[in-house]
Each structure stands twice: as structure tokens, then as C-alpha cells.
Structure 1
Amino acid sequence: MRSTRYSIIIANRRTGVVRRLTLSLRPLVVLAVVLGAMPMLMALGASHKASWQRTSLETELVTLRGENDTMRAATGALTSQISTLQTLVDDLSQLSPSASERTAMARLPRAVQQSAMGGLSPEAARLALSGPSAGPDAVGVVRSMLSAFEARLEFARPRLERRAALARATPAIWPALGALTSSFGTRRDPFTAAASMHPGLDLDLEAGDPVHVTADGVVTDVRRHPEYGNIVTVWHGFGIETRYAHLSRYVVRPGDTVTRGEIVGHAGSTGRSTGTHLHYEVWIDGRPVNPLQYLVARDAS
């Protein structure tokens, strides 16, 4: 069956030229179908693209949620680590000696000062001083830096603790408030008038005045001595010992732990004494030293 054809005649009135365009019905129908189907095809393409984009966005959202959860967990861990470091710094800051303690400690023999040392094992020290290792991300780098800082603080802790212990063991306050009637060193004996060594200080006090221990320590001896009278001896560690003599009475017993400023007895005139006073001695490494060089504070406050 032959297809129907249509002719379109185009004439130019000015020139008289006539043109004829012949069209077949079938191509026109195909063209019309194609033109009619294009909007539908475009709509289907747009719908498919939107569906793909939605799937891609959902996948990206799931990834971002996972990263966000990971970041939250890392941030929580960092917050906890920072809190731990703050606690550690606060603890170590409490170990800092007071100004008067530092002054008194500086006057101790160098051997005693150097005994207040300590540290980590070689392996722990190597890790502490190695510094932060490069992490795969910013959080990892910060965590490494915080860990290195914490290791350095832990490295310093034993030394600071021993230094604080030495500060507490240094006899840095006056045992009582009274006039100094006799100094450390050679003097005339009050009974024989002969030259003799006086191994401590004498403070003029009223009977019953409180006598305070000058540093933290442990009471090692409480007894009646023929010359010292009622005497209290306190061991402070680091080779340091203090003695409080001629007491009317004592209020501690051997084995008691005492804190700087605590009352250990009351002034009196027992033993070889010409009147109510306190005889105070400081011994370091088995030898008496001049207590006056360490008395930098009036009391423990």
C-alpha cells in the first residue's frame, strides 16, 4: 500500500519562483510521536537522576553520621583526658613548697637537698621524653600531645613529691615565741662559767607555754634525761632530727606522727636548767647544726 503524500507549494510573487515541498504522512507521524514522547522521556530521566541523587545523599548522610559519632566519641575521650590532666596538674601544684620552706631548704646541706630526687624507670622516661607521634588526624595529634604532656607530668611527679616531703621535713618555724637567751656554739657554762659547746638555742618562755614541732615527722624518743630534763626527739627523715628539752611535760608518745606546728610539750625547767626556757636542737646526719639558719617563719600558718 502506497503511503499518502502531501505537497506544499511556495511561490515568490516578486520573482515568480515556485517551490514545492513533498511530505510523506508516515515520517510526519513518526516525528509527531517522537516529539510527543520526548517530554515523557525527559521526565523519566529526571526522575531517575533524582532517585540516584537521593540515594547518593542518603549514603553520604550515613557516612557523615558515622563520622559525627566517631568525632563525638573522640571528643568525649579528649574531654576525659583533659579532665584527668587538670586533676594531675592540681595535685602537683599542691606539692609546691611555700616561700619560707624554699628559703629554709636552700640552707640545708647540699647532700640533703640532693637526696630529694627520684624519677621514672629508663623505659618510662624514654616514652615520656619522646614527644607526641604524628597521628592520622587532628584528634589523634591532640590526643598524642596530651598523652605526652601527661607522661612528662608523671615523670616529674616523683621528684616533686620528694621535694615536697623535704620541704615538710625542714625545721622552718620557731618552736616557741620567746627571747633568744643563748645561741648555738661556744659559750660560758651557766653553772661552771667554763667554755663549753652549746648544741642548740635557748628561748626564754613562761612555764607552760606551748612548744611546737618545727617540721613534719615521727616522735622517736620521749623521756626524762638527767641534763635535758623532759625531752622530745622527732625524726623528720632525710637525716634531719629535732630535740625539745627542759619541758615541764610532753603530750606525745614514741611512734606518734606529728605535723609542723603541732604542740609536743610545754615549757619548763626540768633537768640541768637555771630557769624556765626551751632548749631546741637540730641534728643533720648525726651532727648538731645551728637551728637559727632554718628559722624563717614564726609559725606554721
Structure 2
Amino acid sequence: MNRKYTVILLKEIIEKAYAKINIGLKIISKRPDGYHDLETIFQQIDLCDTIKLSIRKSNDIVIKSDNKNIPLDENNICHKAALLFRAASGLDFGLTIHIQKEIPTGAGLGGGSSNAAAVLLGLEKLMAYKLPEKRLNRIARDLGADVPFFLVGGTAYAEGIGDKIKTVRPFPDFFAVLVYPNIEISSAWAYKNFNFNLTKTKKIIKLSRIIQNRICFSDLKDYVENDFEKIVFAKYPELLKIKELLYRKGAFLAMMSGSGSTIFGLFTGSEKAEAARKYFSEKYKCFLTQPKK
């Protein structure tokens, strides 16, 4: 493929890569390709990593970070995102990607996927080259099932493997206390060990009803759950204790995000939320966040 050469007006750009929580996560079925169909509501929150993209004179792609828990080679999802963008655009450029991490890894908060989306969106600005929307979304899906969500952010209903995204009206304002117990849980492990027989429940309804405002937001506790909790809590009972404590501290909904290990509690007021954050901070890494709209 003949590469295009372009005049680069910017030498670097900084993008914020925001985390997400899952308000309900229902595993529907296992697909023939090994993936799982699911239903979830993604909610972007204001906890974020910072991604700085800088043009290099050579055409190699270099990853830098002060975080020792992420790969700094071609195995980093940001490296893969830059390569896919370069191939799709036909542009010839080198890039340094500096990742300043605030979102814990292996936490169910989508940090890696959000970073990848930030690289794609940042490169469109840095290179003054906008990919066709379908092509950009295809690249995002190839990188990870939830990467397409981070291209749009906000509040979204997701189906398929999490890649079929429908942006929906934001929830009423809330405060979210995130408790990260310093346990990294692999999504691959969670899916591999998932047992459909453990997810039978009378309460669960289709999450699409919630986004259609048929369920009061403050009543979510009675209607939504995360199907991964049973297998994850069985292996890490400490997480169940955190969830129970969040309810005792006044959360109207407490739940594991994604495949874990972060447990979050939603609060209507800032005072109880701050009190809960302070309580859990004595033992765990905690964040007090709000939704991004």
C-alpha cells in the first residue's frame, strides 16, 4: 500500500480517556465463535487516564508510562490502535504514546479500551484525518468489544458482545464510590468460568426497560444484577463484603463493574458518598466520581 504523506500541523495532543461502570450486566448466551452475547448499560464516569500523543521523526510507535502494570511494547492495546489507524489511513507517521494511568488495571472499568479509543480519536485530530465512521467502528471492535462505546461515551445500552451501542438519555445525577481491592481479574477467566445455571433469578428484567424510564432509577437494586458476581464472589468473597458494606453506607445500588474487581456504590447525595469513600479509603483504593454526559 502506498502511504500518504501529509503536512502535520500539530506535534502533540492530549486526550482524556474516561472509565466506565456497568449498570447491570446480563450474559445471554454463548456464541459459536466463542464470544458471549450480553446486555448491559455502560455509564462513562469522570475518572480518567491521560493520553499524550507526540509525533516522532522516525516511523516507529513507542509506548511510555509511569505505570509498571501495563505492557510497553506491541502488546499494549494503544500500540495496536495506532497501527490499525495508520494502516486504515495510509498515512506515514511515527508516534510516542504516553499513558498516565489513574484507572486501575484489571478492574472492570474499561481502562485499556478507553485508552485505545482515545488514541483513535486523538490521531484523527493530530493527523487532521477523519476515518469513515464505519471504518473507525470496525477498528474499535477489532481492538475490543467495548472500545466502540468509548468512541461515543456518555450513557449507552449495549447488546451483542457489547459492541452494538445505542446512546440513551442520561440517568439522573448521582455520585459513584468505586472501591478497588487491588485484585486484577481477567475477563477471559470470567467468561471461561461463567456458569449459566448460576444466573437464574426472578428479579432481572431486560435492561432496555430501564433506559425507557419504566423503572425508577433509585429502585435499580430490585431489578438489575451483574451475572459475573456469583463466580467472582465465590473466588473472592471479600468483594461481596464490600458490596454489602456499600449498602450499609447508604448506596441505593451496589454492584461489581464488568468482570471485576471494582465494586461501586451509587449515592444520591455527596455527603454520604464522601463518607463512604473516606471509610473504604482506610483499606482500599477508592474514587468518588460522577457520570460523564
TM above 0.5: no
User: TM-score of the superposition, structure 1-length normalised?
Assistant: 0.22
TM-score, scaled to structure 2? 0.22
Q: Which has the higher helix share?
A: 1
User: Which structure would you say has the larger RCO, counting Cα contacts within 8 Å and 6 or more residues apart?
Assistant: 2
